[in-house]
Structure 1
Amino acid sequence: MRKVLFIITAFFTLTAINAQKLEKKWETSGLEAPESVVGYKSFYLVSNVAGQPAEKNGLGYISQLNKKGEIIIKKWSIGFNAPKGLGIHGENLYVADIDVVAVVDLNTGKIKKRFKAEGATFLNDIEITSDGSVFITDTFGGNAIYRVKDGEISLWLKNDLLNYPNGLKVKGDELFVSSWGVVTNPKTFETEVPGKLLSVNLKDKSIKTLTEPFGNLDGLGILGEGFLVSDWITGEIMTIDKNNKTQVILNLKPGSADLGLFENQEILIVPQMLEGKLTAYSVN
Protein backbone atom coordinates (compact mmCIF):
# COMPACT_ATOMS: atom_id res chain seq x y z
CA MET A 1 0.00 0.00 0.00
CA ARG A 2 1.91 3.04 -1.25
CA LYS A 3 1.15 6.08 0.83
CA VAL A 4 -1.40 4.16 2.78
CA LEU A 5 -3.76 6.25 4.88
CA PHE A 6 -5.40 3.46 5.34
CA ILE A 7 -21.94 -17.12 -4.42
CA ILE A 8 -22.45 -15.92 -7.50
CA THR A 9 -25.96 -17.41 -7.72
CA ALA A 10 -27.17 -19.50 -10.63
CA PHE A 11 -28.22 -16.35 -12.44
CA PHE A 12 -24.66 -15.35 -13.26
CA THR A 13 -21.66 -17.42 -14.30
CA LEU A 14 -18.04 -16.39 -14.56
CA THR A 15 -18.32 -16.29 -18.35
CA ALA A 16 -21.34 -14.04 -18.06
CA ILE A 17 -19.67 -11.37 -15.93
CA ASN A 18 -16.63 -11.37 -18.18
CA ALA A 19 -18.92 -10.64 -21.10
CA GLN A 20 -20.98 -8.04 -19.27
CA LYS A 21 -20.26 -4.37 -19.02
CA LEU A 22 -20.01 -3.08 -15.48
CA GLU A 23 -21.84 0.23 -15.29
CA LYS A 24 -21.47 2.69 -12.45
CA LYS A 25 -24.68 2.75 -10.41
CA TRP A 26 -23.76 5.19 -7.66
CA GLU A 27 -20.79 6.61 -5.87
CA THR A 28 -20.49 7.85 -2.31
CA SER A 29 -17.75 10.24 -1.25
CA GLY A 30 -16.93 11.79 2.10
CA LEU A 31 -15.77 8.56 3.71
CA GLU A 32 -12.39 8.19 5.42
CA ALA A 33 -10.29 5.40 3.95
CA PRO A 34 -13.21 2.97 3.53
CA GLU A 35 -11.91 -0.60 3.58
CA SER A 36 -14.76 -3.14 3.72
CA VAL A 37 -18.51 -3.28 3.07
CA VAL A 38 -21.23 -5.72 4.10
CA GLY A 39 -24.98 -5.75 3.59
CA TYR A 40 -27.50 -6.05 6.41
CA LYS A 41 -31.26 -5.83 5.85
CA SER A 42 -31.85 -2.55 3.98
CA PHE A 43 -28.41 -1.10 4.73
CA TYR A 44 -24.75 -1.33 3.88
CA LEU A 45 -22.15 -1.03 6.62
CA VAL A 46 -18.73 0.35 5.73
CA SER A 47 -15.53 0.35 7.80
CA ASN A 48 -13.55 3.59 7.83
CA VAL A 49 -9.85 3.32 8.76
CA ALA A 50 -9.74 7.10 9.20
CA GLY A 51 -5.98 7.32 9.66
CA GLN A 52 -2.95 5.10 9.43
CA PRO A 53 -3.87 1.42 9.01
CA ALA A 54 -1.91 0.17 12.02
CA GLU A 55 -2.25 3.21 14.27
CA LYS A 56 -4.18 3.00 17.52
CA ASN A 57 -5.71 6.44 17.37
CA GLY A 58 -9.37 5.78 18.23
CA LEU A 59 -10.50 7.50 15.03
CA GLY A 60 -11.96 4.52 13.16
CA TYR A 61 -15.69 3.98 12.74
CA ILE A 62 -18.43 2.15 10.83
CA SER A 63 -20.82 4.04 8.52
CA GLN A 64 -24.40 3.08 7.70
CA LEU A 65 -25.62 3.68 4.14
CA ASN A 66 -28.91 2.93 2.44
CA LYS A 67 -29.15 0.82 -0.71
CA LYS A 68 -28.84 3.95 -2.85
CA GLY A 69 -25.42 4.59 -1.35
CA GLU A 70 -26.58 7.56 0.68
CA ILE A 71 -24.97 8.00 4.08
CA ILE A 72 -27.61 7.61 6.78
CA ILE A 73 -25.34 7.69 9.84
CA LYS A 74 -21.71 8.43 9.09
CA LYS A 75 -20.45 7.30 12.50
CA TRP A 76 -22.99 4.57 13.20
CA SER A 77 -20.53 2.62 15.34
CA ILE A 78 -17.47 4.20 16.96
CA GLY A 79 -14.64 3.22 19.28
CA PHE A 80 -12.26 1.63 16.76
CA ASN A 81 -8.68 2.33 15.76
CA ALA A 82 -8.32 1.23 12.13
CA PRO A 83 -11.27 -1.07 11.34
CA LYS A 84 -10.95 -3.14 8.20
CA GLY A 85 -12.66 -6.45 7.45
CA LEU A 86 -16.33 -6.93 8.36
CA GLY A 87 -18.42 -10.06 8.76
CA ILE A 88 -21.96 -10.77 9.94
CA HIS A 89 -23.32 -13.76 11.84
CA GLY A 90 -26.74 -13.59 13.42
CA GLU A 91 -27.20 -10.22 15.06
CA ASN A 92 -23.47 -9.60 15.38
CA LEU A 93 -21.07 -7.62 13.23
CA TYR A 94 -17.44 -8.75 13.56
CA VAL A 95 -14.80 -6.11 12.92
CA ALA A 96 -11.04 -6.65 12.39
CA ASP A 97 -9.22 -3.84 14.17
CA ILE A 98 -5.39 -4.13 14.19
CA ASP A 99 -4.98 -6.68 17.01
CA VAL A 100 -8.60 -6.97 18.15
CA VAL A 101 -11.77 -8.50 16.74
CA ALA A 102 -14.67 -6.37 17.94
CA VAL A 103 -18.26 -7.65 18.13
CA VAL A 104 -20.91 -5.03 17.41
CA ASP A 105 -24.64 -5.36 18.14
CA LEU A 106 -26.30 -4.86 14.76
CA ASN A 107 -29.40 -3.43 16.41
CA THR A 108 -27.63 -0.69 18.33
CA GLY A 109 -24.19 -0.21 16.77
CA LYS A 110 -22.61 -0.62 20.18
CA ILE A 111 -19.46 -2.68 20.71
CA LYS A 112 -20.35 -5.46 23.13
CA LYS A 113 -17.15 -7.51 23.15
CA ARG A 114 -13.54 -7.41 22.05
CA PHE A 115 -11.32 -10.42 21.38
CA LYS A 116 -7.60 -9.65 21.72
CA ALA A 117 -5.56 -11.55 19.13
CA GLU A 118 -2.24 -12.09 20.85
CA GLY A 119 0.68 -11.51 18.49
CA ALA A 120 -1.39 -9.90 15.73
CA THR A 121 -0.43 -6.50 14.33
CA PHE A 122 -2.55 -6.10 11.16
CA LEU A 123 -5.85 -7.97 11.33
CA ASN A 124 -7.47 -7.51 7.96
CA ASP A 125 -10.21 -9.55 6.28
CA ILE A 126 -12.95 -11.61 7.94
CA GLU A 127 -14.82 -14.70 6.73
CA ILE A 128 -17.49 -16.51 8.76
CA THR A 129 -18.52 -20.13 8.19
CA SER A 130 -22.01 -21.51 8.60
CA ASP A 131 -21.23 -22.80 12.10
CA GLY A 132 -20.24 -19.31 13.23
CA SER A 133 -16.47 -19.76 13.14
CA VAL A 134 -14.86 -16.39 12.39
CA PHE A 135 -11.57 -16.46 10.44
CA ILE A 136 -9.37 -13.34 10.34
CA THR A 137 -6.15 -12.70 8.41
CA ASP A 138 -3.12 -11.01 9.97
CA THR A 139 -1.64 -9.66 6.77
CA PHE A 140 1.55 -7.75 7.48
CA GLY A 141 2.26 -8.84 11.00
CA GLY A 142 2.49 -12.57 11.20
CA ASN A 143 1.58 -14.53 8.05
CA ALA A 144 -1.26 -15.82 10.16
CA ILE A 145 -4.95 -16.58 10.33
CA TYR A 146 -6.82 -16.30 13.62
CA ARG A 147 -10.17 -17.87 14.50
CA VAL A 148 -12.95 -16.93 16.88
CA LYS A 149 -14.94 -19.99 17.91
CA ASP A 150 -17.02 -20.89 20.95
CA GLY A 151 -16.40 -17.51 22.49
CA GLU A 152 -12.61 -17.62 22.27
CA ILE A 153 -9.98 -16.38 19.83
CA SER A 154 -6.88 -18.36 18.93
CA LEU A 155 -4.09 -18.48 16.38
CA TRP A 156 -5.50 -20.98 13.86
CA LEU A 157 -2.61 -21.09 11.38
CA LYS A 158 0.78 -19.44 11.05
CA ASN A 159 2.83 -20.30 7.96
CA ASP A 160 5.05 -18.33 5.60
CA LEU A 161 3.31 -20.10 2.70
CA LEU A 162 0.34 -17.84 3.38
CA ASN A 163 2.32 -15.17 1.52
CA TYR A 164 0.97 -12.24 3.56
CA PRO A 165 -2.72 -13.31 3.54
CA ASN A 166 -5.39 -10.71 2.91
CA GLY A 167 -8.85 -11.63 1.53
CA LEU A 168 -10.73 -14.72 2.68
CA LYS A 169 -13.62 -16.79 1.32
CA VAL A 170 -14.90 -20.25 2.29
CA LYS A 171 -16.23 -22.75 -0.22
CA GLY A 172 -16.80 -26.35 0.82
CA ASP A 173 -13.87 -27.56 2.91
CA GLU A 174 -11.50 -24.91 1.58
CA LEU A 175 -10.61 -21.49 2.88
CA PHE A 176 -9.46 -19.46 -0.11
CA VAL A 177 -6.91 -16.71 0.44
CA SER A 178 -5.88 -13.77 -1.74
CA SER A 179 -2.35 -12.82 -0.73
CA TRP A 180 -0.45 -9.55 -0.89
CA GLY A 181 2.95 -11.08 -1.54
CA VAL A 182 6.08 -10.93 0.59
CA VAL A 183 6.75 -7.32 1.54
CA THR A 184 10.29 -6.17 0.80
CA ASN A 185 9.79 -2.53 1.83
CA PRO A 186 7.81 -2.19 5.08
CA LYS A 187 7.41 1.56 4.59
CA THR A 188 5.71 1.32 1.21
CA PHE A 189 4.36 -2.27 1.42
CA GLU A 190 6.07 -2.96 -1.90
CA THR A 191 6.85 -6.49 -3.04
CA GLU A 192 9.40 -7.89 -5.45
CA VAL A 193 7.07 -10.84 -6.18
CA PRO A 194 3.34 -10.03 -5.95
CA GLY A 195 0.61 -12.06 -4.31
CA LYS A 196 -1.50 -14.96 -5.58
CA LEU A 197 -4.55 -17.08 -4.84
CA LEU A 198 -4.15 -19.86 -2.29
CA SER A 199 -6.37 -22.38 -0.57
CA VAL A 200 -6.20 -23.81 2.94
CA ASN A 201 -7.94 -27.07 3.78
CA LEU A 202 -10.16 -26.46 6.78
CA LYS A 203 -9.61 -29.98 8.10
CA ASP A 204 -5.87 -30.53 7.88
CA LYS A 205 -4.73 -26.92 7.22
CA SER A 206 -2.72 -27.93 4.15
CA ILE A 207 -1.93 -25.02 1.83
CA LYS A 208 -2.11 -25.05 -1.97
CA THR A 209 -0.99 -22.42 -4.44
CA LEU A 210 -3.63 -21.96 -7.14
CA THR A 211 -2.22 -19.20 -9.36
CA GLU A 212 1.04 -17.66 -10.36
CA PRO A 213 1.88 -14.36 -8.61
CA PHE A 214 -0.11 -11.58 -10.29
CA GLY A 215 -1.05 -8.77 -7.92
CA ASN A 216 -1.02 -7.18 -4.49
CA LEU A 217 -4.36 -8.72 -3.71
CA ASP A 218 -6.93 -7.41 -1.28
CA GLY A 219 -10.65 -8.21 -1.63
CA LEU A 220 -11.81 -11.69 -2.62
CA GLY A 221 -15.22 -12.89 -3.77
CA ILE A 222 -16.58 -16.21 -5.04
CA LEU A 223 -17.79 -15.93 -8.62
CA GLY A 224 -19.37 -19.06 -10.07
CA GLU A 225 -16.59 -21.59 -10.39
CA GLY A 226 -14.00 -18.86 -10.02
CA PHE A 227 -13.26 -15.72 -8.08
CA LEU A 228 -13.27 -11.94 -8.12
CA VAL A 229 -10.28 -10.08 -6.65
CA SER A 230 -9.02 -6.54 -6.22
CA ASP A 231 -5.43 -5.37 -6.57
CA TRP A 232 -4.81 -2.62 -4.02
CA ILE A 233 -1.72 -1.19 -5.70
CA THR A 234 -3.04 -0.96 -9.27
CA GLY A 235 -6.72 -0.56 -8.37
CA GLU A 236 -7.70 -3.27 -10.87
CA ILE A 237 -10.63 -5.62 -10.34
CA MET A 238 -10.01 -9.05 -11.84
CA THR A 239 -11.68 -12.39 -12.33
CA ILE A 240 -9.98 -15.74 -11.83
CA ASP A 241 -11.64 -18.52 -13.83
CA LYS A 242 -11.90 -22.22 -12.98
CA ASN A 243 -8.58 -22.78 -14.75
CA ASN A 244 -6.97 -20.10 -12.58
CA LYS A 245 -6.57 -17.66 -15.46
CA THR A 246 -6.97 -13.97 -14.64
CA GLN A 247 -8.73 -11.19 -16.53
CA VAL A 248 -9.05 -7.49 -15.70
CA ILE A 249 -12.67 -6.35 -15.82
CA LEU A 250 -12.39 -2.92 -14.22
CA ASN A 251 -9.63 -0.33 -13.96
CA LEU A 252 -9.78 1.93 -10.92
CA LYS A 253 -7.29 4.09 -9.07
CA PRO A 254 -4.95 2.53 -6.48
CA GLY A 255 -6.61 1.65 -3.20
CA SER A 256 -9.31 -0.81 -4.30
CA ALA A 257 -9.99 -2.73 -1.10
CA ASP A 258 -12.41 -5.38 0.20
CA LEU A 259 -15.00 -5.57 -2.59
CA GLY A 260 -18.42 -7.19 -2.21
CA LEU A 261 -21.16 -8.66 -4.40
CA PHE A 262 -24.72 -7.84 -3.36
CA GLU A 263 -28.40 -7.96 -4.34
CA ASN A 264 -28.33 -11.45 -5.87
CA GLN A 265 -24.86 -10.66 -7.22
CA GLU A 266 -26.22 -7.90 -9.47
CA ILE A 267 -24.29 -5.19 -7.64
CA LEU A 268 -20.52 -4.97 -7.19
CA ILE A 269 -19.35 -2.51 -4.54
CA VAL A 270 -15.71 -1.44 -4.27
CA PRO A 271 -14.32 0.59 -1.35
CA GLN A 272 -11.68 2.95 -2.73
CA MET A 273 -9.52 3.76 0.26
CA LEU A 274 -7.29 6.46 -1.12
CA GLU A 275 -10.21 8.22 -2.81
CA GLY A 276 -12.36 8.18 0.33
CA LYS A 277 -15.31 6.79 -1.57
CA LEU A 278 -17.46 3.75 -2.21
CA THR A 279 -18.45 2.90 -5.79
CA ALA A 280 -21.23 0.55 -6.87
CA TYR A 281 -21.49 -1.06 -10.30
CA SER A 282 -24.45 -2.87 -11.80
CA VAL A 283 -23.80 -6.06 -13.73
CA ASN A 284 -25.99 -5.63 -16.80
Structure 2
Amino acid sequence: MKKLVIISMLLCLVQMVPAQSLKKIWEVQTLEAPESVVHYNGAYYVSNVSGQPAEKNGKGFITKLDTKGEIIELKWLEGFNAPKGLGIFENHLYVADIDRVGLVNLDTGEIEKWYTAEGATFLNDIEIGPTGTVYVSDTFGGNAIYKIEQDAIELLVKDEKLDYPNGLKLDGDLLYVATWGVVTNPETFGTDVPGVLLALHLKNKSIKNITKSFGNLDGLVRYENGFIVSDWISGAISFIDSNGDVTALEQINPGTADIAYLKKENVLLVPRMLDGKLTAYEVSDN
Protein backbone atom coordinates (compact mmCIF):
# COMPACT_ATOMS: atom_id res chain seq x y z
CA MET A 1 0.00 0.00 0.00
CA LYS A 2 2.82 2.40 0.96
CA LYS A 3 4.57 1.66 -2.34
CA LEU A 4 1.40 2.50 -4.30
CA VAL A 5 1.07 5.81 -2.47
CA ILE A 6 4.71 6.70 -3.24
CA ILE A 7 4.25 5.83 -6.91
CA SER A 8 1.10 7.96 -7.08
CA MET A 9 2.92 10.90 -5.50
CA LEU A 10 5.79 10.56 -7.96
CA LEU A 11 3.38 10.49 -10.89
CA CYS A 12 1.74 13.68 -9.65
CA LEU A 13 5.13 15.37 -9.39
CA VAL A 14 6.04 14.33 -12.92
CA GLN A 15 2.77 15.78 -14.22
CA MET A 16 3.51 19.06 -12.44
CA VAL A 17 6.94 19.46 -14.05
CA PRO A 18 6.72 21.51 -17.29
CA ALA A 19 7.47 19.45 -20.39
CA GLN A 20 9.32 22.40 -21.93
CA SER A 21 11.31 25.44 -20.88
CA LEU A 22 12.40 28.61 -22.68
CA LYS A 23 15.92 30.02 -22.95
CA LYS A 24 16.42 33.54 -24.29
CA ILE A 25 18.70 33.70 -27.34
CA TRP A 26 18.50 37.31 -28.46
CA GLU A 27 16.34 40.38 -28.17
CA VAL A 28 15.75 43.44 -30.32
CA GLN A 29 14.55 46.74 -28.88
CA THR A 30 13.45 50.15 -30.28
CA LEU A 31 10.37 48.65 -31.95
CA GLU A 32 7.06 50.51 -31.69
CA ALA A 33 4.38 48.25 -30.19
CA PRO A 34 5.39 45.11 -32.14
CA GLU A 35 2.43 42.75 -32.52
CA SER A 36 3.27 39.93 -34.94
CA VAL A 37 6.30 38.35 -36.62
CA VAL A 38 6.84 36.00 -39.58
CA HIS A 39 9.86 34.51 -41.36
CA TYR A 40 10.58 34.64 -45.09
CA ASN A 41 13.72 34.05 -47.15
CA GLY A 42 16.23 34.56 -44.34
CA ALA A 43 14.56 37.54 -42.70
CA TYR A 44 11.92 38.34 -40.07
CA TYR A 45 9.09 40.80 -40.67
CA VAL A 46 7.50 42.48 -37.65
CA SER A 47 4.29 44.52 -37.54
CA ASN A 48 4.47 47.71 -35.47
CA VAL A 49 1.15 49.17 -34.26
CA SER A 50 2.93 52.43 -33.36
CA GLY A 51 -0.09 54.03 -31.71
CA GLN A 52 -3.47 52.95 -30.44
CA PRO A 53 -4.47 49.48 -31.70
CA ALA A 54 -7.79 50.59 -33.19
CA GLU A 55 -6.78 54.08 -34.35
CA LYS A 56 -6.59 54.89 -38.06
CA ASN A 57 -3.61 57.22 -37.83
CA GLY A 58 -1.34 56.02 -40.64
CA LYS A 59 1.55 55.47 -38.22
CA GLY A 60 1.85 51.68 -38.47
CA PHE A 61 4.74 50.01 -40.29
CA ILE A 62 6.61 46.75 -40.92
CA THR A 63 10.18 46.19 -39.68
CA LYS A 64 12.66 43.87 -41.41
CA LEU A 65 15.23 41.99 -39.28
CA ASP A 66 17.90 39.43 -39.95
CA THR A 67 17.75 36.06 -38.21
CA LYS A 68 20.04 37.24 -35.41
CA GLY A 69 17.68 40.04 -34.45
CA GLU A 70 19.62 42.86 -36.09
CA ILE A 71 17.45 45.54 -37.70
CA ILE A 72 17.88 45.66 -41.47
CA GLU A 73 15.32 48.43 -41.88
CA LEU A 74 13.10 49.75 -39.08
CA LYS A 75 10.42 51.17 -41.36
CA TRP A 76 10.78 48.71 -44.20
CA LEU A 77 7.18 49.34 -45.30
CA GLU A 78 4.80 52.07 -44.18
CA GLY A 79 1.22 52.90 -45.16
CA PHE A 80 -0.61 51.06 -42.37
CA ASN A 81 -2.78 52.21 -39.48
CA ALA A 82 -2.34 49.66 -36.70
CA PRO A 83 -0.96 46.48 -38.34
CA LYS A 84 -1.24 43.32 -36.27
CA GLY A 85 -1.40 39.74 -37.54
CA LEU A 86 0.91 38.68 -40.37
CA GLY A 87 0.84 35.66 -42.65
CA ILE A 88 2.89 34.55 -45.64
CA PHE A 89 1.86 32.54 -48.67
CA GLU A 90 4.42 32.04 -51.40
CA ASN A 91 6.01 35.48 -51.89
CA HIS A 92 3.16 37.55 -50.44
CA LEU A 93 2.65 38.97 -46.96
CA TYR A 94 -0.88 39.44 -45.59
CA VAL A 95 -1.28 42.18 -42.98
CA ALA A 96 -4.34 42.60 -40.71
CA ASP A 97 -5.02 46.33 -40.28
CA ILE A 98 -8.16 47.12 -38.20
CA ASP A 99 -10.86 46.58 -40.86
CA ARG A 100 -8.79 45.63 -43.88
CA VAL A 101 -6.07 43.18 -44.93
CA GLY A 102 -3.13 44.38 -46.97
CA LEU A 103 -1.44 42.20 -49.60
CA VAL A 104 2.29 42.91 -49.84
CA ASN A 105 4.64 41.62 -52.51
CA LEU A 106 7.76 40.63 -50.56
CA ASP A 107 9.95 40.72 -53.64
CA THR A 108 9.09 44.32 -54.53
CA GLY A 109 8.20 45.60 -51.05
CA GLU A 110 4.96 47.12 -52.30
CA ILE A 111 1.35 46.93 -51.12
CA GLU A 112 -0.45 45.43 -54.10
CA LYS A 113 -4.02 45.64 -52.85
CA TRP A 114 -6.37 45.91 -49.88
CA TYR A 115 -9.19 43.58 -48.85
CA THR A 116 -11.82 45.51 -46.87
CA ALA A 117 -13.70 43.33 -44.35
CA GLU A 118 -17.24 44.66 -44.08
CA GLY A 119 -18.32 44.96 -40.44
CA ALA A 120 -14.86 44.27 -38.99
CA THR A 121 -13.61 46.45 -36.14
CA PHE A 122 -10.40 44.82 -34.87
CA LEU A 123 -8.82 42.40 -37.32
CA ASN A 124 -6.10 40.60 -35.43
CA ASP A 125 -4.42 37.27 -36.17
CA ILE A 126 -3.87 35.67 -39.59
CA GLU A 127 -3.60 31.98 -40.46
CA ILE A 128 -3.08 30.64 -43.98
CA GLY A 129 -3.99 27.16 -45.19
CA PRO A 130 -1.87 24.97 -47.50
CA THR A 131 -3.71 26.13 -50.65
CA GLY A 132 -3.61 29.82 -49.76
CA THR A 133 -6.94 30.33 -47.99
CA VAL A 134 -6.49 33.13 -45.44
CA TYR A 135 -8.31 33.21 -42.09
CA VAL A 136 -8.46 36.44 -40.05
CA SER A 137 -9.84 36.88 -36.54
CA ASP A 138 -11.91 39.96 -35.59
CA THR A 139 -11.44 40.19 -31.84
CA PHE A 140 -13.04 43.14 -30.08
CA GLY A 141 -16.63 43.85 -31.04
CA GLY A 142 -16.64 41.53 -34.01
CA ASN A 143 -16.64 38.03 -32.51
CA ALA A 144 -15.98 36.90 -36.05
CA ILE A 145 -13.57 35.19 -38.40
CA TYR A 146 -13.16 36.28 -42.01
CA LYS A 147 -11.84 34.29 -44.96
CA ILE A 148 -9.92 35.39 -48.06
CA GLU A 149 -10.35 32.98 -50.92
CA GLN A 150 -10.33 33.39 -54.70
CA ASP A 151 -9.08 36.96 -54.25
CA ALA A 152 -12.10 38.06 -52.20
CA ILE A 153 -12.77 38.50 -48.48
CA GLU A 154 -15.98 37.33 -46.80
CA LEU A 155 -17.36 36.65 -43.33
CA LEU A 156 -16.76 33.01 -42.46
CA VAL A 157 -18.49 32.86 -39.08
CA LYS A 158 -19.81 35.28 -36.48
CA ASP A 159 -20.77 33.73 -33.16
CA GLU A 160 -20.65 34.78 -29.49
CA LYS A 161 -19.20 31.33 -28.74
CA LEU A 162 -15.98 32.52 -30.39
CA ASP A 163 -15.39 34.40 -27.14
CA TYR A 164 -13.47 37.33 -28.66
CA PRO A 165 -11.22 35.27 -31.00
CA ASN A 166 -7.55 36.11 -31.33
CA GLY A 167 -4.79 33.60 -32.24
CA LEU A 168 -5.54 31.09 -35.01
CA LYS A 169 -3.97 27.76 -35.99
CA LEU A 170 -5.30 25.51 -38.75
CA ASP A 171 -5.22 21.70 -38.55
CA GLY A 172 -7.17 19.99 -41.32
CA ASP A 173 -10.86 20.88 -40.96
CA LEU A 174 -10.29 22.36 -37.51
CA LEU A 175 -9.37 25.97 -36.91
CA TYR A 176 -8.05 26.29 -33.36
CA VAL A 177 -8.76 29.65 -31.76
CA ALA A 178 -7.10 31.25 -28.73
CA THR A 179 -9.69 33.59 -27.25
CA TRP A 180 -9.46 36.73 -25.16
CA GLY A 181 -12.71 36.31 -23.25
CA VAL A 182 -15.65 38.69 -23.13
CA VAL A 183 -14.43 42.20 -22.33
CA THR A 184 -16.22 43.75 -19.35
CA ASN A 185 -13.92 46.77 -18.95
CA PRO A 186 -13.51 48.57 -22.32
CA GLU A 187 -10.81 50.88 -20.93
CA THR A 188 -8.45 48.09 -19.89
CA PHE A 189 -9.81 45.27 -22.10
CA GLY A 190 -10.29 43.39 -18.82
CA THR A 191 -12.50 40.33 -18.50
CA ASP A 192 -14.48 38.75 -15.68
CA VAL A 193 -13.99 35.35 -17.31
CA PRO A 194 -10.72 34.96 -19.27
CA GLY A 195 -10.45 33.17 -22.59
CA VAL A 196 -9.92 29.57 -23.64
CA LEU A 197 -8.54 27.49 -26.48
CA LEU A 198 -11.38 26.30 -28.67
CA ALA A 199 -11.80 24.52 -32.00
CA LEU A 200 -14.00 25.68 -34.88
CA HIS A 201 -15.01 22.95 -37.31
CA LEU A 202 -14.81 24.61 -40.71
CA LYS A 203 -17.38 22.36 -42.39
CA ASN A 204 -20.27 22.56 -39.95
CA LYS A 205 -19.18 25.70 -37.99
CA SER A 206 -19.50 23.86 -34.67
CA ILE A 207 -17.44 25.24 -31.78
CA LYS A 208 -15.91 23.18 -28.97
CA ASN A 209 -13.83 24.32 -26.00
CA ILE A 210 -10.49 22.52 -25.65
CA THR A 211 -9.40 24.06 -22.34
CA LYS A 212 -10.98 25.68 -19.36
CA SER A 213 -10.88 29.46 -18.99
CA PHE A 214 -7.32 30.52 -18.11
CA GLY A 215 -6.08 33.69 -19.83
CA ASN A 216 -6.52 36.66 -22.15
CA LEU A 217 -4.97 34.79 -25.02
CA ASP A 218 -3.20 36.25 -28.02
CA GLY A 219 -0.67 34.25 -30.08
CA LEU A 220 -1.09 30.54 -30.81
CA VAL A 221 1.41 28.11 -32.36
CA ARG A 222 1.71 24.36 -32.70
CA TYR A 223 4.42 22.63 -30.66
CA GLU A 224 4.84 18.83 -30.75
CA ASN A 225 1.49 17.31 -29.74
CA GLY A 226 0.05 20.51 -28.32
CA PHE A 227 0.24 24.29 -28.51
CA ILE A 228 2.17 27.22 -27.11
CA VAL A 229 0.06 30.29 -26.35
CA SER A 230 0.68 33.82 -25.07
CA ASP A 231 -1.41 35.74 -22.54
CA TRP A 232 -1.40 39.46 -23.39
CA ILE A 233 -2.66 40.74 -20.04
CA SER A 234 -0.49 38.62 -17.72
CA GLY A 235 2.51 38.20 -20.02
CA ALA A 236 2.60 34.43 -19.50
CA ILE A 237 3.73 31.93 -22.14
CA SER A 238 2.08 28.53 -21.63
CA PHE A 239 2.00 25.05 -23.14
CA ILE A 240 -1.32 23.30 -23.80
CA ASP A 241 -1.04 19.51 -24.11
CA SER A 242 -3.26 17.17 -26.12
CA ASN A 243 -5.59 16.76 -23.13
CA GLY A 244 -6.16 20.50 -22.85
CA ASP A 245 -4.06 20.84 -19.70
CA VAL A 246 -2.12 24.10 -19.35
CA THR A 247 1.44 24.48 -18.03
CA ALA A 248 3.21 27.83 -17.62
CA LEU A 249 6.59 28.03 -19.40
CA GLU A 250 7.70 31.61 -18.90
CA GLN A 251 6.46 34.75 -17.18
CA ILE A 252 7.17 37.89 -19.20
CA ASN A 253 5.77 41.39 -18.88
CA PRO A 254 2.21 42.17 -20.00
CA GLY A 255 1.85 42.76 -23.73
CA THR A 256 3.05 39.41 -25.10
CA ALA A 257 1.38 39.29 -28.50
CA ASP A 258 1.26 37.13 -31.64
CA ILE A 259 4.05 34.58 -31.15
CA ALA A 260 5.69 32.56 -33.94
CA TYR A 261 7.49 29.22 -33.80
CA LEU A 262 10.14 28.11 -36.30
CA LYS A 263 10.23 24.33 -36.00
CA LYS A 264 13.46 23.76 -37.96
CA GLU A 265 15.38 26.34 -35.89
CA ASN A 266 13.43 25.48 -32.71
CA VAL A 267 12.96 29.18 -32.01
CA LEU A 268 9.96 30.84 -30.39
CA LEU A 269 9.59 34.53 -31.27
CA VAL A 270 7.65 36.72 -28.83
CA PRO A 271 6.60 40.27 -29.80
CA ARG A 272 6.27 42.40 -26.66
CA MET A 273 3.99 45.29 -27.49
CA LEU A 274 4.25 47.26 -24.27
CA ASP A 275 8.04 46.87 -24.02
CA GLY A 276 8.81 47.66 -27.67
CA LYS A 277 10.81 44.43 -27.98
CA LEU A 278 10.97 41.17 -29.88
CA THR A 279 12.52 38.30 -27.91
CA ALA A 280 13.70 34.98 -29.36
CA TYR A 281 13.71 31.85 -27.19
CA GLU A 282 15.01 28.34 -27.67
CA VAL A 283 12.43 25.74 -26.63
CA SER A 284 13.92 22.77 -24.81
CA ASP A 285 12.48 19.62 -23.30
CA ASN A 286 13.23 19.04 -19.62
Q: TM-score, normalised by structure 1?
A: 0.93
- 2 CA distance for matches of 1:226 and 1:191? 25
User: Aligned partner of 1:81: which letter?
Assistant: N
Deviations 1:129-184 (A, max 9, x none): 01111000000021000011001000110000000000000012100000000000
Structure 2 regions of 5+ residues with no counterpart?
1-14
What is the match of residue 268 of structure 1?
268
- 1 CA distance for matches of 2:246 and 2:283? 19
User: Aligned partner of 2:264: which letter?
Assistant: N
- 2 CA distance for matches of 1:201 and 1:263? 25
Q: Secondary structure at the match of 1:219?
A: strand
Q: Please say which structure displays the higher CA radius of gyration.
A: 2
What is the match of residue 233 of structure 2?
233
- 1 CA distance for matches of 2:113 and 2:37? 21
- 2 CA distance for matches of 1:41 and 1:96? 21
What is the match of residue 62 of structure 1?
62
- 1 CA distance for matches of 2:167 and 2:265? 18
What is the match of residue 4 of structure 1?
none
What is the match of residue 188 of structure 1?
188
User: Aligned partner of 1:35: which letter?
Assistant: E
User: Aligned partner of 2:201: which letter?
Assistant: N
What is the match of residue 130 of structure 1?
130
User: Aligned partner of 1:127: which letter?
Assistant: E
- 1 CA distance for matches of 2:60 and 2:190? 25
User: Aligned partner of 1:278: which letter?
Assistant: L
Q: Secondary structure at the match of 1:211?
A: coil
- 1 CA distance for matches of 2:65 and 2:258? 17
1:38 paired with 2:38, answer yes
Q: CA deviation at 1:20?
A: 4.3
- 2 CA distance for matches of 1:244 and 1:136? 24
What is the match of residue 25 of structure 2?
25
User: Aligned partner of 1:93: which letter?
Assistant: L
Confirm or deny: 8 A CA contact 2:136 2:146 kept in the other structure: yes
- 1 CA distance for matches of 2:150 and 2:220? 26
User: Aligned partner of 2:208: which letter?
Assistant: K
User: Aligned partner of 1:27: which letter?
Assistant: E
What is the match of residue 80 of structure 2?
80
1:256 paired with 2:265, answer no
Structure 1 regions of 5+ residues with no counterpart?
1-14
Across the aligned residues of Structure 1 and Structure 2, the Cα RMSD in angstroms comes to 1.3
With a CA cutoff of 8 Å and minimum separation of 6, indicate the structure with the bigger relative contact order.
1
Q: Secondary structure at the match of 2:121?
A: coil
What is the match of residue 200 of structure 1?
200
Confirm or deny: 8 A CA contact 2:20 2:249 kept in the other structure: no
Q: CA deviation at 1:265?
A: 5.1
User: Aligned partner of 1:132: which letter?
Assistant: G
Percent identity reads 58
Q: Secondary structure at the match of 1:50?
A: coil
Give the ranges of 4+ consecutive aligned residues of structure 1 lying more than 4 Å apart after TM superposition.
none
- 1 CA distance for matches of 2:265 and 2:141? 33
Deviations 1:56-88 (A, max 9, x none): 000000000000000001111110000000000
- 2 CA distance for matches of 1:274 and 1:255? 5
- 1 CA distance for matches of 2:21 and 2:72? 29
User: Aligned partner of 1:47: which letter?
Assistant: S
What is the match of residue 164 of structure 1?
164
Q: CA deviation at 1:276?
A: 0.2
What is the match of residue 11 of structure 1?
none
Confirm or deny: 8 A CA contact 2:176 2:199 kept in the other structure: yes
Confirm or deny: 8 A CA contact 2:21 2:250 kept in the other structure: no
Matched residues, number: 269
Q: Secondary structure at the match of 1:141?
A: coil
User: Aligned partner of 1:233: which letter?
Assistant: I
Q: TM-score, normalised by structure 2?
A: 0.92
What is the match of residue 51 of structure 1?
51
1:222 paired with 2:246, answer no
